[in-house]
């Protein structure tokens, strides 16, 4: 593939990279941190590939100064990280843990000193275990605890944080954590999963309010959702289009509805009536959830295709998450998932950059005053280190190239997209897949914990420096590159 003849410029645009606490930090039992649901889950036999856990992960807890050097050397405008709730507030309630807070203060100070804007996610799936023991996300008090945690973080970290993100992909927290059970805490209780949906939404609203109470109305606050781009197998089939609408309501509208429009999608209650009566939604909750946001975070990896099925329980999960006998798609009766055409990444996810353009344009039409940021996009491939030490991850370079071009196309079409964050800065603990799936632009050797720039990192650095898409073969290391 060659570069487009027309230069695509990225003025007033932020290039970053993203990570999450449990996936990179390690230091699981250090500095006063207590277990989260992912510690418990990953230590459960059979839950993760090869029994991998985040005990050590990338050892970012100790190696963060080196990682900040890589971030600075890449020239990143911004870096998206998440806070381990149980590190800063062990158990999820009560006093803050000064040692845990100091870890993030030092990290944020170093990022700001390097001229890198920190985008901080308060919740990337690592609920303190004590809160799960008390009911977890299906319980209302978890949302209340989250609001208080957000308030304490706003006080402790204040303007060190450029932009706050309340939740990362609450779809995964609710449906994979409580319905299909392939994520922590591994429960398979459909009604509980829908209660979790609502309490995650409520947690978001309480957190936005708390952050603005502390830092003022001008505080930049966002949420990151994993939008499902769903298509019908047969666009001319009304039944297939109805299957799309069902999945859209469960996968997208269950979050965008209350957060951005102040109401759940009209069909959601009916579609899930055999599971729950939604009695956990209290008067006033939707007002709390529906808060003005500075930006909407969009995580995008792949697309989904569905068709109608006459087999009542044919619903299946092709989301690329580990297999389960249970579906995350509660209430999606008579829907079958169709494998999308390839090519595929090592996750089995189909590659479709054009769908990202369409998604960003759609969102700009639906929410005209809400800028978007692509807070995650990237690909896992089976990387190899060449004898000369290079990691020639040409497929990842081409994935990033095509998706960043797709973002540029959306901007050209008028969508207000403000940034792009490559997932991920480092190879890391890919949840139930453990260390078997590598998403990093920087390779991590899990024996030595050494970091090594892949060709995609060299390419990304060049893009940021030039603010124009380099050709996919423009990957030679530049002078003074650490880790090359």
Active site (catalytic) residues: 169, 376
**Among 24-32, 166-174, 257-265, 395-403, the segment contacting ligand FCB (CB under 6 A):** 166-174
**Among 115-123, 168-176, 265-273, 308-316, the segment contacting ligand FCB (CB under 6 A):** 168-176
Nearer to ligand FCB, 117 or 319 (CB): 319
Q: Is the peptide bond before 424 cis (omega within 30 degrees of 0)?
A: yes
The tokens for 84 are 């381990």
**Among 165-173, 199-207, 248-256, 284-292, the segment contacting ligand FCB (CB under 6 A):** 165-173
Looking at residues 94 to 153 of the shown chain, list those that interact with ligand FCB (rule: CB under 6 A).
none
The tokens for 165 are 């993100």
Nearer to ligand FCB, 240 or 340 (CB): 340
Cβ(422)–Cβ(441) under 8 Å?
A: yes
Q: In whole angstroms, what is the distance from residue 17 CA to residue 421 CA? A: 4
Q: Is the peptide bond before 26 cis (omega within 30 degrees of 0)?
A: no
Q: In whole angstroms, what is the distance from residue 266 CA to residue 249 CA? A: 9
Give the three-class secondary structure for 320. Answer: coil
> With binding defined as CB under 6 A, does residue 383 bind ligand FCB?
no
> With binding defined as CB under 6 A, does residue 431 bind ligand FCB?
yes
Q: Across-strand partners of 443?
A: 452
Among 39, 59, 126, 169, the residue binding ligand FCB under the rule CB under 6 A is 169
The CB-of-168 to ligand FCB minimum distance in angstroms stands at: 5
Measured from the Cβ of residue 366, the count of other Cβ atoms closer than 10 Å reads 11
Q: Is 328 left (phi over 0), alpha (psi -120 to 50) or beta?
A: alpha
> With binding defined as CB under 6 A, does residue 173 bind ligand FCB?
no
Among 376, 383, 393, 427, the residue binding ligand FCB under the rule CB under 6 A is 376
Nearer to ligand FCB, 152 or 176 (CB): 176
Q: Across-strand partners of 350?
A: 344
Give the three-class secondary structure for 90. Answer: helix
> With binding defined as CB under 6 A, does residue 240 bind ligand FCB?
no
Cβ(108)–Cβ(161) under 8 Å?
A: yes
Among 53, 201, 222, 226, the residue binding ligand FCB under the rule CB under 6 A is 226
**Among 186-194, 211-219, 227-235, 423-431, the segment contacting ligand FCB (CB under 6 A):** 423-431
Q: Could you identify the residue written with the tokens 């423009």?
A: 474
Nearer to ligand FCB, 104 or 439 (CB): 439
Q: In whole angstroms, what is the distance from residue 223 CA to residue 221 CA? A: 7
The binding track of 432-461 with respect to ligand FCB, each residue x by CB under 6 A or -, is: -------x----------------------
The CB-of-234 to ligand FCB minimum distance in angstroms stands at: 29
Q: In whole angstroms, what is the distance from residue 134 CA to residue 137 CA? A: 9
> With binding defined as CB under 6 A, does residue 423 bind ligand FCB?
yes
Q: In whole angstroms, what is the distance from residue 67 CA to residue 124 CA? A: 20
> With binding defined as CB under 6 A, does residue 430 bind ligand FCB?
yes
User: How many residues of this chain bind ligand FCB (CB under 6 A)?
Assistant: 12
The tokens for 438 are 């590598």
Of 293, 330, 302, 304, which Cα lies nearest the Cα of 315? 330
Nearer to ligand FCB, 408 or 432 (CB): 432
The CB-of-454 to ligand FCB minimum distance in angstroms stands at: 16
Looking at residues 27 to 86 of the shown chain, list those that interact with ligand FCB (rule: CB under 6 A).
none
Give the three-class secondary structure for 113. Answer: helix
> With binding defined as CB under 6 A, does residue 180 bind ligand FCB?
no
CA torsion sign, 363 to 367 to 368 to 372?
negative
The binding track of 290-319 with respect to ligand FCB, each residue x by CB under 6 A or -, is: ---------x--------------------
Q: Phi and psi dihedrals of 270, rounded to 5?
A: -65, -45
In the complex, the residues that contact ligand FCB under the rule CB under 6 A are: 20, 23, 168-169, 172, 226, 299, 376, 423, 430-431, 439
């Amino acid at each position: 593939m060659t570069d487009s003849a027309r230069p695509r410029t990225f003025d007033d645009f932020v290039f970053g990279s993203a990570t999450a606490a449990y996936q990179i930090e390690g230091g699981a039992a250090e500095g006063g941190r207590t277990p989260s649901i992912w510690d418990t889950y990953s230590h459960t036999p059979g839950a993760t590939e090869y029994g991998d856990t985040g005990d050590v992960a990338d050892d970012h807890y100790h190696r963060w100064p080196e990682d900040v050097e890589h971030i600075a050397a890449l020239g990143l405008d911004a870096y998206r990280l998440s806070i381990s709730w149980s590190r800063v507030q062990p158990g999820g309630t009560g006093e803050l843990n000064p040692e845990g807070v100091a870890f993030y203060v030092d990290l944020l100070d170093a990022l700001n000193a390097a001229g890198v804007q920190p985008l901080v996610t308060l919740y990337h799936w690592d609920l303190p275990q004590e809160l799960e023991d008390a009911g977890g996300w299906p319980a209302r008090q978890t949302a209340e605890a989250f609001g208080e945690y957000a308030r304490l973080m706003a006080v402790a970290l204040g303007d060190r944080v450029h932009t706050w993100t309340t939740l990362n992909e609450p779809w995964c927290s609710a449906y994979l954590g409580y319905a299909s059970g392939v994520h922590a805490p591994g429960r398979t209780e459909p009604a509980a999963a829908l209660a979790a949906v609502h309490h995650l939404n409520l947690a978001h609203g309480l957190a936005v309010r708390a952050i603005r109470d502390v830092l003022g109305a001008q505080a930049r606050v966002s949420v990151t959702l994993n939008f499902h781009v769903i298509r019908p197998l047969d666009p001319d089939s009304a039944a297939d289009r109805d299957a799309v609408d069902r999945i859209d309501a469960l996968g997208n509208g269950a979050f965008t509805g209350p957060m951005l429009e102040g109401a759940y999608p009209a069909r959601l209650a009916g579609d899930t009536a055999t599971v729950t009566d939604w009695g956990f939604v209290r008067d006033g909750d939707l007002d709390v959830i529906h808060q003005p946001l500075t930006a909407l975070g969009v995580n995008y990896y792949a697309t989904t295709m569905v068709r109608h099925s006459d087999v009542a329980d044919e619903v299946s999960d092709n989301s690329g998450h580990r297999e389960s006998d249970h579906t995350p798609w509660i209430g999606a009766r008579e829907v079958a998932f169709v494998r999308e055409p390839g090519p595929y990444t090592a996750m089995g996810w189909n590659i479709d950059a054009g769908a990202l353009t369409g998604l960003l344009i759609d969102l700009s039409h639906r929410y005209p005053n809400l800028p978007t940021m692509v807070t995650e996009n990237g690909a896992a491939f089976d990387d190899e280190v060449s004898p000369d030490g290079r990691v020639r991850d040409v497929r990842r370079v081409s994935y990033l190239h095509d998706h960043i071009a797709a973002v540029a196309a959306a901007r050209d079409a008028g969508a207000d997209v403000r940034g792009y964050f490559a997932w991920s800065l480092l190879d890391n603990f890919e949840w139930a897949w453990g260390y078997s799936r590598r998403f990093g632009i920087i390779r991590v050797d899990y024996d030595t914990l050494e970091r090594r720039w892949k060709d995609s990192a060299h390419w990304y650095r060049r893009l940021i420096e030039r603010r124009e898409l380099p050709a996919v073969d423009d990957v030679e290391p530049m002078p003074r590159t650490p880790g090359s």
